[in-house]
Structure 1
Amino acid sequence: MKRVVFTVGNPMRGDDAAGPLLAEMLENEPAPGWDVIDGADVPENHTHAVRRLEPDQVLVVDAAAMGLKPGEIRIIDEGDVADNFLITTHAIPLNFLIQSLKETVSDIQFLGIQPEDTSFYGPVTPVVREAVATLHRHLVSGGAPEDYQPVA
């Protein structure tokens, strides 16, 4: 099975850089069975790279305002991505991105990381940096995205 971690986030907006930080970690220490593509803050410009890999599964990882404690990680139902949990730093809503990918990929999951601070030029906060490191270790050790609970 071919799988892709597709990260999203703006590295200039504090904890919104969670996705690109995960991509960097996965490039330095890959997770077995996963390719990684960093969509940064313009993921629509990278969907062609995802499609070129012809994956069976895509895991989209981004900061998401879920009303949880900073650093908590949850699976977000595709139908809730745009309606409830987005941090609006992206050029197009992520539900459009997911619908575009669904044209060629049947299994798309969205994993959100609750940010603490998404202010411009802010650093990734320690709690979110640790959450990203935990997710990285989980993927490297063979853990599945489904191991995370859905957001309630």
Structure 2
Amino acid sequence: MSQPSWQGALTQTLNQLAQNSNRVPRVAIIGMGHEFNGDDAAGPVIARALIERTAGSHRLLVIDAGPAPENTTGALRRFEPDLVLMVDAAQMGEPPGAVRWLDWEQTTGVSASTHSLPPHVLARYMVAEFDCHVALIGIQPFANQIDAPLTPGMQATVADVIDALTAALID
């Protein structure tokens, strides 16, 4: 049986959370990555676009965390999310531009060397402290060159991810 798409996994998770709590889930999106490292900037670029699109939503919190996502825990604690989505460029051994839904417990081998704290360590903390679900939306980079913009391929992938997240999460 094939693995569901990341959009399918998101929809399934949102539906399960809604059934369990009898309300629309509160979702936090954390865009992670280094803005001056080529395609590693995908997470922050996605976050900034979603911040504009989700203004005024009371069930969504979007944070551009840059290379230090651990600095978001205060805002997350106040928001009380049901689901935290970390969005990040990740070396997954996939073709460039591939987007995958990754369970945080399966991300110990995913390379995220531009962060001061590995995503799985932060995820373990969030699950324990906030009693929430955590997943990583990983995007396989085309290139990570210092002091370079997103590659054209990553720009297209980022646009697709922004559109899909908007469609799934905007009221």
Tell me the TM-score normalised to structure 2 length.
0.78
Q: 1:21 corresponds to which residue?
A: 45
Structure 1 segments of 4+ aligned residues over 6 angstroms from their partners: none
Deviation at 1:71, TM superposition (A): 1.1
Q: Does 1:64 align with 2:90?
A: yes
Segment drifting more, 33-42 vs 58-67: 33-42
After superposition, the C-alpha distances for 1:51-106 in whole angstroms (9 at most, x for unaligned) are 210011111110111111211100112222122x2230111111111111112132
Q: Does 1:93 align with 2:93?
A: no
Higher helix share: 2
Give, in whole Å, the separation in 2 of the partners of 1:71 and 1:90. 20
Larger radius of gyration: 2
Q: 1:137 corresponds to which residue?
A: 163
Q: How many residues align?
A: 143
RMSD after superposition:
1.8
Q: Does 1:5 align with 2:29?
A: yes
Tell me the TM-score normalised to structure 1 length.
0.87
Structure 1: state its 5+ residue gaps.
144-152
After superposition, the C-alpha distances for 1:95-145 in whole angstroms (9 at most, x for unaligned) are 1111111121321111100001112101111111111110111111126xx
Asked which structure has the greater RCO (Cα within 8 Å, sep 6+), the reply is 1
Q: Does the CA contact (< 8 Å) of 2:104 and 2:119 recur in 1?
A: no
Partner amino acid, structure 1, of 2:83: Q
